[in-house]
Amino acid sequence: MAFIVLAQCLSTSLWFSPSGVADSLMRDWQLSAAAFSWLLAATQLGFIAGTLAFAFSGAADRFKPTRIFVVCSLLGALANAAVTWGVTDYGLFWSLRFVVGMCLAGIYPLGMKMLVQRVGSKPAAALGWLVGMLTLGTAMPHGLRALGQSWPWPEVLLGSSVLALVGAVLVGWMGQAPKQQTSLTEPTAPPAAPVRLNTQALREVIAVRGFRASALGYFGHMWELYAFWSVLPWLSLPIARTLTEPGESLASSVAWISFAVIGIGFFGCVLGGLWSRRVGSAKVAASALAASGLMCVVYPFIPDNWPLLQLGALLFWGVCVVADSPQFSAMSSQYAPPQWLGSALVLQNGVGFLITVLSILLLGWAVQHWGSMALWLLAPGPALGLWALRPLLKPSSLKESLS
């Protein structure tokens, strides 16, 4: 399991690699905030396209997950690095980020599948580690920028590609799960034929009340998560201006703050997974949604001349904003019909990441016009998630939610 979660951290550093160098990238490419937001959206759209391709082809079940993970890590690293090889056209840059997103569809979900194959039932705690490492991977480009204060943006992107190559090597060296260990849904049955996305699967999945509740909660969570991460350099800038000593690098301070706020989500995922063993995934997810939703509303009221309070609030938000993610994956895996599990998770991921495209673009535009008050636009996501989770928070209706 340790190799899987470490490889996930390294390979998912490709996801937000442009964010770690947002200032220099926007300056050198003469990009507006909207154009930069579209670069981030390209990765999300590529991820959606990749998940749908795996679903319609059945490739995720037809081929070994380790093989898919390795190939996608290698191709993603290549596409991410290719931007630094004399590319000057924005359209080509956007297309390469789209390809990176498609490759990530073979890294994140397949890493989850490899983990579930090894841990068997009750995967919430293990998924906490996995999503926690994905969170660290997302923070990694900011960390690379902070460590290499004078590095130009191409070197930070190349550094992310090198990390993804190491992730591919780790999974390739680890190999496939032992044959006697099987999946979460069918612990003793032989492998089933690949199931492809179809309308019958969608109707049966949506009819399950428990899955609907989990999926809608996940959608609310996704409205907030990636949009919050995408504007962290902007949120960190006024804090860095106040706390950075004369002669120190402002860009490095912004990178360190962004890295810390995203990276601390690792502890939220792991601790949430451990807590879920006592109180259940639904209560953990609801608590995280409530806390992060509160931050959407409260943060704009913190004055800029209180930088330490702003920093503390961002760190707290960073813990809460992603702590519910592995719990939604665990609940959806539990409530989805076993014969349509793959289709159900693809449906949930595809819609969820489509939502992130909308929220990233909206928030990227809004912060330029409304400042930190634009963060209020994120609050409906957690509110929807809490409303959707109500059936799963009632012990008397839990059994009913399964049908």
Model confidence pLDDT, tens digit, residues 346-382? 778 888 989 998 998 899 889 888 989 999 999 999 9
- pLDDT value of position 180: 42
- Please tell me the predicted confidence (pLDDT) of residue 191: 47
- Which tokens is 161 given? 């590609």
Give residue 188's pLDDT. Answer: 43
Residue 9 is encoded by which pair of tokens? Answer: 């951290």
Give the chain's mean pLDDT: 83
Give the whole-angstrom CA distance, residue 316 versus residue 177.
37
pLDDT value of residue 402: 47
pLDDT at 150: 62
Tell me the pLDDT band of 120, cut-offs 50, 70 and 90.
low
Q: Which residues of 163-192 are buried (b: 16+ CB within 10 A; e: fewer)?
A: bbbebbebbbebeebeeeebbbbeeeeeee
In angstroms, rounded to a whole number, what is the distance separating the alpha carbons of residues 212 and 325? Answer: 16
| DSSP annotation of 83 | T
Neighbours of 49 (CB within 10 A): 17
pTM for the whole structure: 0.80
In CATH, what class is 2-179+197-401?
mainly alpha
Q: How far apart are CA 270 and CA 325, in angstroms?
A: 11
Q: For residue 323, is it left (φ>0), alpha (ψ between -120 and 50) or beta?
A: alpha
Tell me the pLDDT band of 28, cut-offs 50, 70 and 90. confident
Please write the tens of the pLDDT for every residue from 190-220. Answer: 444 455 656 666 777 777 888 899 999 999 9
**pLDDT of 81:** 94
Q: Tell me what pLDDT residue 141 has.
A: 77
d(CA 131, CA 68): 19
Whole-number pLDDT of residue 175: 61
The predicted-structure confidence for 133-147, as pLDDT tens digits, reads as follows: 778 877 877 887 777
Q: In 3D, which of 324, 317, 334 has the Cα closest to residue 285? A: 324
Report, as an integer, the average pLDDT of 229-256. 87
Distance (Å, rounded) from C-alpha 213 to C-alpha 282?
10
Handedness of CA 277, 278, 282, 288 (dihedral sign): negative
Better-predicted residue by pLDDT, 181 or 365: 365
Question: Any idea where the domains of the chain sit in the sequence?
Answer: 2-179+197-401
Q: At what angle do helices 307-323 and 250-263 cross, to 10 degrees?
A: 40
Looking at residue 53, its pLDDT comes to 84
Q: How confident is the model at residue 261 (pLDDT cuts 50, 70, 90)?
A: very high
Taken in order 272, 263, 322, 109, the sign of the CA dihedral is negative
Record the tokens describing residue 99, joined without a space.
Answer: 């390809």
**Which residues, including other chains, have CB under 8 Å from residue 273's CB and lie 6 or more apart?**
124, 125, 126, 127, 128, 129, 326, 327
Percent residues over pLDDT 70 in the chain? 85
Residue pair 35/203 in contact by the 8 Å Cβ criterion: no
Reported as a pLDDT band with limits 50, 70 and 90, residue 72 is very high
